[in-house]
Structure 1
Amino acid sequence: MSSLRLIDLTLGQFWKGTHRIWKKDKRIAVILGTIFLVCGYYFYQSVTMPVRFLFINKNIDKQCIIPDLDPFDKSIMKYVWSPDPIHCDSLPDLVYVDDAGSLQYNRSAFKVYNVQDIKCSYSPLIRPNNDDYSVTFGDEKFIDIPYQVPTDFFKFRCYTKPEGKMIYETLQESVYVTESMRNSKAFEDPDLSKYSIFMFGIDSTSRLSFIRKLPKTYKYVTETLGAYIFKGYMKVGDNTFPNVVPILTGKLPGTEDLPNPAGTKYNINKLPFVWQNFSREQYATVYAEDYPIVAAFNTDGSGFLEPPTDHYLRPWMLGLRKINFVSDVLKSVLLPFEYKNINLKKTSSLCFGNKPIFTHQINYLKRFVTLYSSKLRFVFSWLVQICHEFVNYLELGDEDFYQFFKFLKDNGHLDNAFLIFFSDHGSRIDDIRNTFVGRIEERMPVVTIAPPQSFKQKYPAAIKNLLDNTRRLTSNFDLHETVNDILTGDFEGKLKFQLNSKRGISLFQPIPESRSCADASIPEHFCACYGSTDISTKEPLVVKASKFAITYLNNLLKKYTHICAELMLLKIHEAQLVSLGLSAQGEEENRWTIYKFFSKPEAEKHKRFLIIFETIPGNAMFEATVDYHVETGMEITDDISRTNKYGNTSICVPEKTLQKYCYCKTMLKQ
């Protein structure tokens, strides 16, 4: 009997059995059906997961040549498409939290709920065991609206009068400022010579996917906020934990400064997180993350025994799971169908109530920055659900991210604050990763820094370094040093600095152009740098590239052919091949998958040549960078440089930019 026939019989027997159970007990049938669906999905997912090849970069000790990739390369675009918009519950909120942190009735919603008089209550959400994994609800307390609930998170219910029928229930997120915080000196009189810092992170987002999938946010960040985007930023670890920990602590998991010989979860309660330093300097702090089952510090880490910051969103996320456990479990099954625009229920699994979960998190951040607007603030936000496993979902957050950044600017929150938009890595588990472009961008997460306008005026040297460093090799350790400098105000490098004593260099300081991955502490299997190698000047592609460059020069001089001589190749003096240097060395995860039988990494289709050649007449020496792609042919990168003097040999050309290329015909007669 064939395996497919056996599966058919097994499925048939399962459904017949389920049908018999359904007649007797529908609840058991639902449970069995759910178990079958979940198990079936995880089996399907495990055997169809793309192969993740392990690549090693041979250029780790060479000066880094930053990859220059097209975000819309056709090898990538076949995996890029638009999912359906997120559809959440259409019912409006019966209450809302105002700018002062108080609950208010949404009177316009009373008609929708068909009520005139109601009574409402709250039950505080509590961390009962001093851990990161359990929450419970306190006693229900009836209140009069408006009312400020003395906790950040609570279950909120409303009932009809006099019947007492519950018509509304939600898990409300708020921000409660304690009396001790309100009465603190720093709250009333913050040090305005210092800057707040807002770190807004999104999992699995490369710089290229930022351009592709968040066009509105990208335009606003670059054009309106004047952010600096670091084109040479590379990750130092595989997944979230080893990439976020270096940013927040300056330490790399798995090395001698943060060893883990037992291979168990890291005790993160002992780590020197930067938010502790900000707290000591009287900053108000918040850490918000949206996906508790794969949270940054709870998958590879042990979780926090105490809330790590003044305000901490994880209990609210755990509360969602507690009040809606079945839906939360099914989420991982339903989301892949939604991703393919197959909706098995009316509302998206990305929603809670009438909003996406990431919008609830953004609203939480808005309340925090508003209530602490007179105080220095440190914000660390991390979004996972919208993009961790489904790269095309990212675009569904574009409008919300844009509106959030616009809110920060329009309300003056960025007048004295740095906005850092960042990620941990690009897509790791999608088919896009096994394309040539995909395996590079997976190593190059997005990092942008938008400094306040006042900073640009006060520290022009630091701004120049920021701009220069957007074209240098950078890493998580550099971002860590940058955050430290924002805290200490050391933007001019006045504090003691020894390059060999630390891994990172602040982005406010000049980073050497000669930097290699080894210099930047980027491991060889995460290094995405190109390196150059001397090759024969007689190589056919080198000769072809040189002639292509000369044709390019002659085309630039086309309208001056009556006064400029046609250039011809005399000699190729030097040639270098610029290549990525990534070679496949087996698989990162040795697991069985169907793709093992026919999947292989896409070959490198792109080559870059650095060529120094001599032309006649005039014996001009030129240096050109020529890109060659097996499908699209050759292209000149940047300007062709003249490397020897040309004196008066081009004086006949009126355009100054062309004088270095032209050899005047009048010179031929001399």
Structure 2
Amino acid sequence: MVSQLFTVPRVSFILTVCILFSLALNLIYNNPDEKFRRNLRKYGRRDIQNFIVRSIQVRENYGRCVFPYTLTDAQGVYQPDRKTTCKRRSCRSKSGWVLCSENKCYIRKLLTESKGKIDCVFTDIIRTSDRKVGYGIPHRNFQQYLLNSSDFVKVQCNASNGDRWAGDVIGTRPILVPKSADDKPKNDKFNVFILSLDSLTKTDFLQKLPKTYWFLKQQLGAVEFRGFNTIGNIRSQNLIGMLTGQTELELPETRKASPRSSHLDVYPMIWKTFRNDGYITAFNEDSIREGVLNSQHKDFLEQPTDHYLQTYLTEKKQYFSNSTECCFSNYQRHQILFDYTSKILSGERNKSKFILNVHDVTSSDNLFVLDHDIFNFLFDLQEKEALSRTIFILVSNTDQPLNQNNVPLEEKLNQRILFASVVLPLQFQKQFPQEYSNFQNNTNSLITSFDIHATLEHVLQLQNNQSEGLRSCRTRSISLFKQIPHYRSCAHAHIEPHLCSCLGETPININRVILMGAENIVDTVNTFLEPYWKFCRSVTLSGVIDAVKLAPQKALLQYKKLDDVIGYIPNLSGSTIVRNEWYQIQVAINASTEAQSIIEGIVRHDLWKDIFETKIKDIVLKEGGIGPHCLAKVGKPMLKKLCICKEIN
């Protein structure tokens, strides 16, 4: 009887059922949505929020912020966490038959001479949702088509010689601003244009986008902020902080995996404030996959801004189901983003605009090509004078790697420092001189996305003659047009310890390392003076005044990975490879001469090679010191503080 029950076929069937059942349980248990729900049940949103607040308020997180100089000057190596979504291919093909200028779309004049009479049918692409589009009524036209319902149109043309063409064109339909703002003088406010480059750290930006960086600094006069620190483990947390001034946990639940969650429409996005103040608004991402916001959050029910590139990309997804194509309508996706932005910013000059663009650099086929295209894009905007009344903000954004156990300290620090630069119109600088002075003095301060949000609010308040109000150091959101205290810490800025890139200060006795570091400071100064040897003498070390060791927080060194799929609970059981140590050393030079100086430098000590590198932080002429008479006409303040003139007969 037993042998009949356990025959080979039956045993095989039972084993198969058991294996399938265990696989099903494993899939259910490891499903991201189910993991999210388990994390919520285990911690709860309020518990996670309280955990973050407690971790931020630890004593170590209140230390004054000092940045390791290598994050500013070193050239990083671009290693994206994800594979590029674009195949290497050319996007070039024949030019389209139809062009759009603002809301007017017309047939190219030269074509009618070579092809004869051309008959075109225009069909608007209408947004239904973030994942679905509809189409308007087809319109047949021989001359031009006016955009009223959409910025995006499908076109099919037939020429009398038998040639045919089909494609898409993009323009900008006219936008009616709120009536309450229509009564205000036209074009009396500055445009605001934000370009966010995703999957890019600061050192990545410096190495892979050198032409863009040069144009920002040399041609546009951009002010770079050295201490732009991430506030989140994933990109959406930084973007949400900039758009709302709040953390994701402080806002209504919008995660797809969370039961009874709301859509992103409930967020108090900053573009709503600009819209109410009479601005035309635009939010454009060029990702054919999930965007930064809707990858984990529910889509927008209503179109969030006046101009919205997602509608066009949604229509294109049906043709590129594998989501790996670079090219739409003969252009790379980032080029479509730039062209669309140029049309928005250059059109309707009598109305102010707020534009937020997000480009994921992993979708670019070649970052050097992207660098060239951004350079041309900014050059084109400058030539059109579209930036003359525009506050232009360029920032980078990135996720923290999935696993940071046993990685070099520099790599961890690099992942937490992002690029940030701001271009202010000359008229803004003249109109608000005190705010501009504060702005320039904040370039070495610790800032976050919360501060950019406060700055955007302050722009509106300044233009509306409203007081921004005083904000203390303990306020996590401080406008860049207000003076940010030099002693601001990661705790003040609401940065968790494992995300804080600041180095804390620990007093240290003078030892061999400090003396060698002091000598390296002097060597660095003499190397700087070398081109001016005909006029300036070499400096000599008189002594070490003070020295402190700079070290990151323990939480950063111990950070391994995230313990939850929500993106907030850090696992601090890891370790870090420490190859370099930093010291801040004050030295006295030229004590026996009239040009006595105190130099403060940040010295990096490579523990593996036992070599030193220095960045001069500050130079102070002691009382009684004088500047060099031989370089009176040289406009280099640092050189004038260091040079001791030779006696020339």
TM-score bracket relative to the smaller structure: 0.7 to 0.9
Which of 364, 369, 372 is residue 399 of structure 1 equivalent to?
372
Match of residue 359 from structure 2: 383
Return the TM-score normalized by structure 1.
0.72
Match of residue 52 from structure 2: none
In the TM superposition, what is the alpha-carbon distance from 1:500 to its structure 2 partner? 7.1
Q: Tell me how far apart the structure 2 counterparts of residues 124 and 556 of structure 1 sit (CA, whole Å).
A: 62
In the TM superposition, what is the alpha-carbon distance from 1:632 to its structure 2 partner? 7.3
Deviation digits for residues 353-398 of structure 1, max 9, x if unmatched? 32111111222122222332111111111112x336x7x8333222
Evaluate the alpha carbon distance shift between residue 72 and residue 635 of structure 1 in structure 2; reply closer, same or farther with a 3 A threshold: closer
Match of residue 233 from structure 1: 228
AA partner of residue 127 (structure 1): R
Local SS of the residue matching 1:489: helix
Match of residue 547 from structure 2: 575
In the TM superposition, what is the alpha-carbon distance from 1:541 to its structure 2 partner? 1.5
In the TM superposition, what is the alpha-carbon distance from 1:476 to its structure 2 partner? 0.6
AA partner of residue 285 (structure 1): T
| CA contact 2:187–2:350 (8 Å) conserved in 1 | no
Deviation digits for residues 511-570 of structure 1, max 9, x if unmatched? 011110111111212211112112232x4312433455567789999999xxx9996777
Local SS of the residue matching 2:194: strand
Local SS of the residue matching 1:525: helix
In the TM superposition, what is the alpha-carbon distance from 1:489 to its structure 2 partner? 1.4
Evaluate the alpha carbon distance shift between residue 158 and residue 185 of structure 1 in structure 2; reply closer, same or farther with a 3 A threshold: farther
In the TM superposition, what is the alpha-carbon distance from 1:230 to its structure 2 partner? 0.7
| CA contact 2:106–2:145 (8 Å) conserved in 1 | yes
Which of 465, 485, 491 is residue 518 of structure 1 equivalent to?
491
Which of 430, 433, 454 is residue 481 of structure 1 equivalent to?
454
Q: How does 1:59-138 map to 2 (within 5 A)?
A: 60-69=61-70, 73=74, 76=77, 87-97=90-100, 99-108=101-110, 115-128=115-128, 131-138=129-136
In the TM superposition, what is the alpha-carbon distance from 1:478 to its structure 2 partner? 0.7
1:610 is the counterpart of 2:574: no
AA partner of residue 269 (structure 2): F
Evaluate the alpha carbon distance shift between residue 326 and residue 168 of structure 1 in structure 2; reply closer, same or farther with a 3 A threshold: farther
Match of residue 215 from structure 1: 210
Q: Tell me how far apart the structure 1 counterparts of residues 528 and 95 of structure 2 sit (CA, whole Å).
A: 63
In the TM superposition, what is the alpha-carbon distance from 1:253 to its structure 2 partner? 0.9
In the TM superposition, what is the alpha-carbon distance from 1:95 to its structure 2 partner? 1.2
1:504 is the counterpart of 2:477: yes
Match of residue 365 from structure 1: 341
1:242 is the counterpart of 2:245: no
Q: Tell me how far apart the structure 2 counterparts of residues 355 and 96 of structure 1 sit (CA, whole Å).
A: 14
Which of 352, 360, 374 is residue 350 of structure 2 equivalent to?
374
AA partner of residue 525 (structure 1): H
In the TM superposition, what is the alpha-carbon distance from 1:250 to its structure 2 partner? 0.6
Match of residue 18 from structure 1: none
In the TM superposition, what is the alpha-carbon distance from 1:240 to its structure 2 partner? 2.2
Deviation digits for residues 265-292 of structure 1, max 9, x if unmatched? 6632111111111111111111111114
Deviation digits for residues 174-195 of structure 1, max 9, x if unmatched? 21115x55x9685696454422
Q: Tell me how far apart the structure 2 counterparts of residues 302 and 397 of structure 1 sit (CA, whole Å).
A: 30
Local SS of the residue matching 1:478: helix
Match of residue 158 from structure 2: 159
Q: Tell me how far apart the structure 1 counterparts of residues 142 and 347 of structure 2 sit (CA, whole Å).
A: 22
| CA contact 2:621–2:641 (8 Å) conserved in 1 | no
Q: Tell me how far apart the structure 1 counterparts of residues 435 and 597 of structure 2 sit (CA, whole Å).
A: 37
Evaluate the alpha carbon distance shift between residue 629 and residue 379 of structure 1 in structure 2; reply closer, same or farther with a 3 A threshold: same
Q: Tell me how far apart the structure 2 counterparts of residues 299 and 85 of structure 1 sit (CA, whole Å).
A: 25
Which of 610, 616, 619 is residue 638 of structure 1 equivalent to?
616
Match of residue 439 from structure 1: 412
> Which moved further from structure 2: 60-69 or 405-414?
405-414
Q: Tell me how far apart the structure 1 counterparts of residues 391 and 627 of structure 2 sit (CA, whole Å).
A: 50
AA partner of residue 213 (structure 2): Y
Evaluate the alpha carbon distance shift between residue 434 and residue 161 of structure 1 in structure 2; reply closer, same or farther with a 3 A threshold: farther
1:306 is the counterpart of 2:308: no
| CA contact 2:589–2:597 (8 Å) conserved in 1 | yes
Match of residue 586 from structure 1: 560
Q: Tell me how far apart the structure 2 counterparts of residues 557 and 369 of structure 1 sit (CA, whole Å).
A: 46
Local SS of the residue matching 1:293: coil
Local SS of the residue matching 2:132: coil
* Higher relative contact order, structure no. (Cα contacts within 8 Å, ≥ 6 residues apart): 1
In the TM superposition, what is the alpha-carbon distance from 1:100 to its structure 2 partner? 4.0
| CA contact 1:266–1:300 (8 Å) conserved in 2 | no
In the TM superposition, what is the alpha-carbon distance from 1:585 to its structure 2 partner? 2.8
Evaluate the alpha carbon distance shift between residue 613 and residue 263 of structure 1 in structure 2; reply closer, same or farther with a 3 A threshold: farther
AA partner of residue 210 (structure 1): F
Q: Tell me how far apart the structure 2 counterparts of residues 284 and 640 of structure 1 sit (CA, whole Å).
A: 44
Return the TM-score normalized by structure 2.
0.74
* RMSD between aligned residues: 4.5
Q: Tell me how far apart the structure 2 counterparts of residues 621 and 73 of structure 1 sit (CA, whole Å).
A: 28
Q: Tell me how far apart the structure 2 counterparts of residues 557 and 157 of structure 1 sit (CA, whole Å).
A: 67
Local SS of the residue matching 1:220: helix
In the TM superposition, what is the alpha-carbon distance from 1:586 to its structure 2 partner? 2.4
Unaligned runs of 5+ in 1: 1-54, 332-348, 592-598, 665-670
Evaluate the alpha carbon distance shift between residue 108 and residue 400 of structure 1 in structure 2; reply closer, same or farther with a 3 A threshold: farther
Q: Tell me how far apart the structure 2 counterparts of residues 127 and 301 of structure 1 sit (CA, whole Å).
A: 19
AA partner of residue 634 (structure 1): F
Q: Tell me how far apart the structure 1 counterparts of residues 547 and 237 of structure 2 sit (CA, whole Å).
A: 39
Deviation digits for residues 144-191 of structure 1, max 9, x if unmatched? 23222432122222235587x8x322233221115x55x968569645
Match of residue 176 from structure 1: 173
Q: Percent identity, aligned pairs only?
A: 20
Evaluate the alpha carbon distance shift between residue 86 and residue 513 of structure 1 in structure 2; reply closer, same or farther with a 3 A threshold: farther
| CA contact 1:63–1:516 (8 Å) conserved in 2 | yes
Deviation digits for residues 336-360 of structure 1, max 9, x if unmatched? xxxxxxxxxxxxx311132111111
Local SS of the residue matching 2:168: strand
Match of residue 504 from structure 2: 531
Match of residue 197 from structure 1: 192
Evaluate the alpha carbon distance shift between residue 654 and residue 526 of structure 1 in structure 2; reply closer, same or farther with a 3 A threshold: same
> Which moved further from structure 2: 473-482 or 528-537?
528-537
Q: Tell me how far apart the structure 2 counterparts of residues 85 and 191 of structure 1 sit (CA, whole Å).
A: 46
Evaluate the alpha carbon distance shift between residue 491 and residue 579 of structure 1 in structure 2; reply closer, same or farther with a 3 A threshold: farther
Local SS of the residue matching 1:442: helix
Evaluate the alpha carbon distance shift between residue 611 and residue 498 of structure 1 in structure 2; reply closer, same or farther with a 3 A threshold: closer
In the TM superposition, what is the alpha-carbon distance from 1:133 to its structure 2 partner? 1.7
Match of residue 398 from structure 2: 425
Local SS of the residue matching 2:550: strand
Match of residue 606 from structure 2: 629
Local SS of the residue matching 1:269: helix
Evaluate the alpha carbon distance shift between residue 261 and residue 429 of structure 1 in structure 2; reply closer, same or farther with a 3 A threshold: closer
AA partner of residue 303 (structure 1): D
1:267 is the counterpart of 2:287: no
In the TM superposition, what is the alpha-carbon distance from 1:634 to its structure 2 partner? 1.9
Q: Tell me how far apart the structure 2 counterparts of residues 615 and 316 of structure 1 sit (CA, whole Å).
A: 66
Aligned residues: 562
Local SS of the residue matching 2:337: helix
Evaluate the alpha carbon distance shift between residue 404 and residue 576 of structure 1 in structure 2; reply closer, same or farther with a 3 A threshold: same
Local SS of the residue matching 1:67: coil
| CA contact 1:89–1:353 (8 Å) conserved in 2 | no
AA partner of residue 135 (structure 2): F
AA partner of residue 279 (structure 1): R
Local SS of the residue matching 2:397: coil
